Amino acid sequence: MSDDLDISALRIDRSSGQNKNKRPYLKWVLIVGLFTIIIAVALFFFISSGFFQPEVELVPVVQTRENPQSTLLTASGYVVAQRKAAIASKGTGRLEYLAVEEGDRVTKGQLIARLDASDVEAALGKAHAELSVARADSSEAALTLQRQLELDKLNLTDQANVDAARTGYARVMAAINSAQAGVRVAEVAVENTIIYAPFNGTVLTKDADVGEIVAPFAASANSRGTVVTIADMGSLEVEADVSESNITLVELNQPCEIILDAYPQQRYPGYVKKIVPTADRGKATVMTKVAFQELDDRVLPEMSAKVNFLSDESETVYEDVAMLTLPSSSLVNRNDTFYVLQVKDGVIEEQSIERGKSVGNRFEIIAGVQINDRVVRNPHESMKPGTKVRIKQ
């Protein structure tokens, strides 16, 4: 019977265990392969989209008028209106009417806005009624005093009645004066709901809309303190910060030229109007106010500007011939040969130029580029012809 037993069923099958041990390795191989594909696709996307390409900023070639006078000093600052006002109301109320918006010109005394005056008008009506009552009482008091005086002449009344009549008449006259003052207070309250322009100017900002509550000093979080802000555009000046070490080079009525960053090709003649007699401790500068000799509509408040303080005290004169200029930071010097970098179809191209004389922080360009051509500002040494770049917007 023992010969019939099949002991092969008791044998350990080691092949199944080896197969099971191989499966985790296959799983990790698939995961690593998947991540490799994802990373490769991401790298391809970033490279094709220019993500790793350097970003450059372009500046245009502009025309600059040369000033025959020598520049002693250059300072930067901002255009500021010396006559500017935030128009508000002395009263509190809902804005009912607004007659202007940004950019509108206004004249002195022109209606700008009106608040809801129903409550103060009711108070004015009540003050008028109280004045009418006081005047009616004064008529009765006057008749009583006159009657007592006539009876006193006939010795038909005593002195106490006469004194009481005089006192009553005086009290009524005082009540009339008080009522008249109340009427004036109510009239002023009504006037405070109407806002007029204090001077000729231009509306810079609209600070409240119809339906909003306007209150003095913005007493509530949901109220507006001002309605509009206006400025006299004829009072525009440049407030420039001059270093303490150079303030001795500046004097009153000194001729200047003003260059706005918005219009670098335009130069405005000016002069030093005032040197503020104090220094800024933090910046070690002294504020200098430079007035325009000529203004146009392009000059706006808060524009950034550069001021050149000139040495000649004579009238500023400009040449009619303008030169092409570029910032000195955009020029590349290689073995005393000057180049600029241009971008065409996203690729750097090198252009040789002929440089002329220095004009402030710019250089005259005699040949190589044309007006309005755009070149790279502050080019990096690693930028060579053929380098792919992104243009900074």
Q: Which fold has domain 84-111+198-231?
A: OB fold (Dihydrolipoamide Acetyltransferase, E2P) (2.40.50)
Cα–Cα distance measured from residue 195 to residue 110, given in angstroms and rounded to the nearest whole number: 9
Q: Which residues of the chain have pLDDT under 50?
A: 1-2, 314-320
Q: Which amino acid is at 307?
A: V
Given phi > 0 = left and psi -120 to 50 = alpha, else beta, which region is 345? left
| pLDDT number for residue 341 | 84
User: Residues 272, 256: contact at Cβ < 8 Å?
Assistant: yes
Strand, helix or coil for residue 176:
helix
The boundaries of every CATH 1.10.287 domain in the chain are 117-192
The boundaries of every CATH 2.40.420.20 domain in the chain are 55-65+321-391
The boundaries of every CATH 2.40.50.100 domain in the chain are 84-111+198-231
pLDDT single digits (tens) 304-327: 999 999 886 544 444 445 788 888
pLDDT single digits (tens) 141-165: 888 878 888 887 888 878 888 788 8
User: CB burial class (10 A; 0-12, 13-18, 19+) of residue 173?
Assistant: middle
Q: Nearest CA to 210 among 132, 343, 315, 113? A: 113
| pLDDT number for residue 100 | 92
Q: What angle do CA 197, 201, 205 make, to 5 degrees?
A: 85
Q: Which CATH number fits domain 55-65+321-391: 2.40.420.20, 2.60.40.1080, 1.10.1060.10, 2.40.30.60?
A: 2.40.420.20
Q: Which fold has domain 117-192?
A: Helix Hairpins (1.10.287)
Q: Nearest CA to 306 among 251, 249, 266, 357? A: 266
Cα–Cα distances in angstroms (integers) from residue 121 to residues 128, 185, 196, 353, in the given order: 11, 11, 19, 76
Strand, helix or coil for residue 302:
coil
Q: What is the pairing mode between strands 223-224 and 213-214?
A: parallel
Q: Which fold has domain 71-83+232-310?
A: Elongation Factor Tu (Ef-tu); domain 3 (2.40.30)
| pLDDT number for residue 197 | 93
| pLDDT number for residue 229 | 92
| pLDDT number for residue 235 | 92
Cα–Cα distance measured from residue 87 to residue 198, given in angstroms and rounded to the nearest whole number: 8
